[in-house]
Amino acid sequence: MPQIQPGDSVAATTFDDRRSECHHRGNWLQGRLDTSFMLPCFHFNEKRKEGWHYDWKGGASSKQRHESHQLCVYVVMAADDDSNTFQVVGNASSTPFLLGSYRRALFPPGRTRPLMPPSPSPPGRLRAIPQFPTAVIVYDMCRYCQSLSITDFPNDWRQFEQAMVREFQEWFGIDLSHSELVRFDGRPQSLLGDYQGSRKAALKLLRWWMSPATQHAMYTNVLQLSHDEPNDSIQDRIAHLDEFMSQNISQVGSKILNGFLRSRTRQKSNDAEGFTRILELFESIWPTPMLCSLESRRQDDQMSINGDWVIELSESHVNLHSMGLSFLSMSQVLTMIFGLRIQLTDDVLQVQSHIQRIPAKITTLFLDSVPRRFEALINGEPCKTLDLDKLDVVDYLGWIENNTILLWLYGWPKNSGENCYVLQIRVTMLHSDRFKADCTLELCPLDLPLDFESKTSEERIFRTDTTALQTRLNATFCYRRRKHIGKTNAR
């Protein structure tokens, strides 16, 4: 049994000069935390320079060779009030085992005698990776990728970004001069290696989920379901959609999918939670799924912003300042903003992303300086899908000044003490076939009053103290007009 239990406080010196109660020589092996797995994982003796051995001279007696041993692992955290004291937050131990000799660190297989006979291996069919509904796999993948910051894995993001851009080029049938969209200010760009383990599998799945082809296939299927089975319940429609997604997900390959499923079994995710989140998403957008598309109107003048646009990556950039966007959020943003359809009539702005997963209403914004609630993203999905469950309410304020469209979006956190986000967007026409959108993202922790959600947009925006906001991101997105968009959801 472990000698130290969770909740115990131990002095830091405890781990400096002993290995166990019986053998004081040697040092504790220190673990290295690896966050690339779904659950925290600690590695020991990575460089193989630390040995597990006891300093017995002249070999061991028969009694010593038949003593049982246990390997005990402790997870500790420094106490808040005393850096010389550790708090034990977890422990684990191996089954008892014997040592063949105290003189050698290793023996060939069979030289050590186990305390108990090994249990027979289960049949192959019992060792098979369990099968999960695709909707739950996608939910787990999104939750995991939300925990991965692109600033922590810059090389992984660079490969991910380039792969997505290639898919966009093929989908839209265009040729782009692309180098790097996201720039990590003050950050070294080669700290970590390439994809590893479960992170590699999760990011491969994320590429599949965010690809234009996958989103369009799901869009078409949802639209077809709404017409063919209009009286089906939400649960029935999700079951149909899950069956369709199960066929589509095979594109990622069994090796990648199985790698992710193995890591998923370690985290013991709750299937019911995944279904609940999927249900919440569909219930918020499903009442009347329909094919909504902006009609291309005649340009009022040469500097009209109305029409179809595609991003000019060579002139666009995102600069991160001490902020780590997640792989999930950044890929969602890139997917939404790549191709846009815009219609401005007087002070009513309508924006629609060309890449959509769900048939939904067009995003309509009023540029009359009146605070309003921001109902959905430009791809039709609820705002909370951009950051899973962290965002609760989003408000906006829009107006036109000197032929420049100004939009301020306020993302309010779900829980008090979490960050609120203020995104400032300035849209300016450069000439008839070019416009740019300058964006600044600021954030700060916010203490929410109990009745915050019940307040009006005007009260939330103008009566909330946001003086502590700090700039964390600057971005410029340039667009060129497209006379024709090849493949698109919004037809």
* Number of domains the chain contains: 2
The packing angle between helices 327-337 and 197-210, to 10°, is 20
Residues 279 and 165 in one domain: yes
Give the tens place of pLDDT for each residue, 110-136: 444 443 444 444 443 333 334 567 877
**What is the pLDDT confidence band of residue 391, given thresholds at 50, 70 and 90?**
confident
Task: Look up the pTM and report it.
Answer: 0.67
Higher pLDDT, 349 or 285: 349
Same-domain check for residues 242 and 348? yes
CA distances to 92, 244, 348, 363, 440 from 477, in Å? 51, 35, 22, 19, 12
Q: Are residues 84 and 185 in the same domain?
A: no
* pLDDT value at 265 more than 80: no
Q: Which of 148-152, 176-180, 245-249, 260-264 has the lowest mean pLDDT?
A: 176-180
Length of the chain, please? Answer: 491
pLDDT in tens, 212-238: 999 999 888 888 877 777 677 767 777
**Domain co-membership, 36 together with 185:** no
Sorting pLDDT into bands at 50, 70 and 90, what band is 32? confident
**387 is written with which tokens?**
């950051």
Asked if 376 and 383 count as a contact pair (C-beta separation under 8 A), the reply is: yes
Check whether residue 398 and residue 459 sit in a common domain.
Answer: yes
275 and 154 inside one domain: yes
Phi then psi for residue 203, to 5 deg, are: -70, -30
Query: What's the CATH code of the domain at 320?
Result: 2.40.128.20
Give the range among 167-181, 392-406, 446-460 with minimum mean pLDDT. 167-181
pLDDT confidence bin for 38, thresholds 50/70/90: very low
Please tell me whether residue 11 adopts helix, strand or coil conformation.
Answer: strand
Residue 486 within any structural domain of the chain: no
Give the position of tokens 């105290």: 102
Q: What is the pLDDT of residue 60?
A: 63
Show which of 118, 152, 172 is a domain's final residue.
118
The single-letter code of the amino acid at 393 is V
Q: Are residues 164 and 192 in the same domain?
A: yes
Q: Which residues contact 171 (CB under 8 A, 6 or more apart)?
A: 212, 213, 355, 486, 487
Q: Does residue 108 have a pLDDT over 50? A: no
- Is there a contact between 318 and 468 (Cβ–Cβ < 8 Å)? no
Q: Is the pLDDT of residue 3 over 50?
A: yes
Report which of residues 476 and 358 the model is more confident about.
476
Q: Which residue has the higher pLDDT, 276 or 433?
A: 433
Bigger pLDDT: 139 vs 335: 335
Tell me, yes or no, whether 230 lies in a domain.
yes
Judgement on whether residues 61 and 140 belong to the same structural domain of the protein: no
Residue 55 pLDDT > 60: no
Same domain, 173 and 258: yes
Structural domain containing residue 224: 134-481
At 176, phi and psi to the nearest 5? -115, 145
> Quick check: is 126 in a domain?
no
Tokens standing for residue 484 = 């024709």
